[in-house]
């Protein structure tokens, strides 16, 4: 099967497998590119306790696969949390190791979330969003020192910025900070937002796109099993001149693990027909 060179597959799609097996499954389908999942509790392909030895081990497994890496999808803790000096030092160390990993696998960018896995602010909405923006700006500076980009999934149904308005506030605060936006179709639709509206608001800031199906309130559908209008959303992106890449992030709950390779192949064929 020939797969568009703009379309990759996240290792999160095969999170039930050990990393070498997930990479092998992705390669066998015919993908040439991945996003590397490093999200504690979602995908354990990258240890949360990430020391230099772990970076070397994970990077070795990825490089041995022959797959190219578009981004590392990571987490350094709740970016709106109030930390003491020791906790801030731990976060800084974790960020450095994730950036080291991204560089070691020849990735383009590190992706970080838009805040804690809760909608409730620690202080208040504006203060928390400002704190997240500050943490992302500092992370972008560190990434730039290694020749890497820093991206954020600005709209996420489970996190602090779970509405289009909060995503807009965060993106506005990041103006000029060099932080790119990751558009995830499933989170856009799950928050009852029209993908075209998201593209119109953030089109010139979008650096990467995640693909998974959804219905309002539910992000866990395989492509074709939800209500996402991928054709219209991709057309909206094309109209803005978007020339970036796309990743199937099939962290779904409507198929068995045995069916995942076939579902990924079917999704790749469908999305490829729209690109």
Instruction: Answer whether 225's CB lies under 8 Å from 249's CB.
Output: no
Q: Which pLDDT tens digit goes with each residue over 80-99?
A: 999 999 999 999 999 999 99
Whether the pLDDT of residue 41 is over 90: the answer is no
SS3 (DSSP) at 64: helix
CB of 135 closer than 8 Å to CB of 166: no
SS3 call for 28: helix
Reading the block at residue 261, the tokens are 């390779």
pLDDT single digits (tens) 158-205: 999 999 999 999 999 999 999 999 999 999 999 999 999 999 999 899
Token pair of 46, please? 């990258």
Q: Which residues of 96-112 are buried (b: 16+ CB within 10 A; e: fewer)?
A: bbbbbbbbbbebbbbbb
| Two structure tokens written together for 151 | 């991206």
pLDDT (tens digit, 9 = 90+) per residue, 1-15? 689 999 999 999 999
Residue 48's pLDDT is what?
86
User: What structural domains and CATH numbers belong to the chain?
Assistant: 7-274 (3.20.20.150)
Residues 256 and 222 sit within 8 Å (Cβ to Cβ): no
Between β-strands 218-221 and 213-215, what pairing exists: parallel, antiparallel or unpaired? antiparallel
Write down the mean pLDDT value for the chain. Answer: 97
Give 100-150 pLDDT, tens digit per residue. Answer: 999 999 999 999 999 999 999 999 999 999 999 999 999 999 999 999 999
Tell me the sheet residues that pair with 36: 72
pLDDT value, residue 2 = 86
pLDDT at 22: 98
* pLDDT value for 1: 66
pLDDT band at 70 (very low <50, low <70, confident <90, very high): very high
Percentage of the chain exceeding pLDDT 70? 100
Give 226-237 pLDDT, tens digit per residue: 999 999 999 999
Of 5, 3, 9, 6, nearest to 247 by C-alpha is 9
Distance CA 48, CA 165 (A): 31
């Amino acid at each position: 099967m020939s797969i568009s060179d703009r379309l990759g597959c996240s290792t999160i799609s095969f999170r039930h497998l050990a990393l070498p097996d997930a990479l092998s499954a992705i390669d066998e389908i015919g993908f040439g590119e991945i996003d590397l999942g490093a999200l504690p509790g979602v995908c354990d392909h990258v240890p949360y306790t990430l020391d230099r030895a772990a970076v070397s081990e994970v990077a070795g497994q990825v490089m041995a696969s022959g797959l190219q890496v578009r981004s590392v999808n990571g987490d350094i803790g709740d970016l709106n949390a109030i930390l003491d000096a020791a906790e801030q030092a731990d976060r800084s160390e974790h960020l450095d190791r994730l950036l080291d990993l991204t560089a070691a696998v020849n990735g383009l960018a590190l992706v970080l979330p838009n805040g804690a896995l809760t909608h409730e602010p620690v202080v208040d909405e504006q203060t928390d969003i400002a704190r997240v923006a500050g943490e992302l700006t500092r992370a972008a500076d560190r990434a730039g020192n290694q020749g890497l980009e820093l991206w954020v999934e600005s709209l996420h149904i489970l996190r602090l910025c779970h509405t289009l308005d909060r995503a807009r506030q965060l993106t506005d605060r990041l103006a000029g900070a060099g932080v790119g936006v990751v558009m995830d179709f499933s989170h856009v639709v799950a928050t009852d937002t029209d993908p075209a509206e998201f593209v119109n608001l953030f089109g010139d800031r979008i650096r990467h796109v995640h693909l998974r199906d959804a219905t309002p309130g539910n992000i866990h559908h395989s492509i074709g099993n939800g209500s996402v209008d991928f054709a219209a959303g991709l057309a909206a992106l094309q109209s803005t001149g978007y020339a970036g890449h796309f990743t199937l992030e099939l962290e779904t709950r409507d198929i068995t693990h045995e069916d995942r390779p076939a579902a990924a192949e079917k999704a790749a064929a469908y999305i490829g027909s729209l690109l």
